[in-house]
Amino acid sequence: MRRFLAATALCVALAGCGTQKAEQPAAGQTATSDGINDYQQAVINLNEASRKAVLFRAIRDAGLPCQNVIQAERLPDEKDGPVWRAQCEDKSYHLVIVRADGTAYVVSRTR
């Protein structure tokens, strides 16, 4: 299995999600009662197309081949954060875990 942290993928994708007011805490510092923080919640709240783009960027930043994420399904959360199963156009599947620090952990099967 190939593993990789893709911190820039989420940072770049989430940069366009809007600005924060000065009195709000910085993103990623506030955890909700279910353990999900601002970075993770931002990805959860994205529309489908934007979420696929974030997952695509994480997969590509992990050095894996993928031209387009054609399907993304949220799986039960792991201890490290929310998990999505992303399918690329070549029918390959990748698990992407969004960690509390905003990095993406990508796990893929080798063929």
| pLDDT at residue 78, as a whole number | 93
Which residue, among 19, 34, 94, has the nearest Cα to 61 in the 3D structure? 94
User: Which residues face 107 on adjacent strands?
Assistant: 3, 95
Please list the pLDDT of the chain residue by residue as tens digits (111 residues).
Answer: 444 444 434 443 444 444 344 344 444 445 554 667 889 999 999 999 999 999 999 999 999 999 999 999 999 999 999 999 999 999 999 999 999 999 999 999 766
Cα 30 from Cα 32, distance rounded (Å): 7
Residue given tokens 């201890």 in the structure block: 79
| pLDDT at residue 8, as a whole number | 38
Range of the domain at 46: 2-108
Q: Number of folded domains in the chain?
A: 1
Residue 42: which residues within 8 A CB-CB, separation 6 or more? 14, 17, 27
Residue 93: which residues within 8 A CB-CB, separation 6 or more? 85, 86, 87, 108, 109
| pLDDT at residue 28, as a whole number | 44
| pLDDT at residue 110, as a whole number | 63
Global confidence as pTM = 0.69
Could you give the angle at the alpha carbon of 8 between the alpha carbons of 93 and 35, nearest 5°? 75
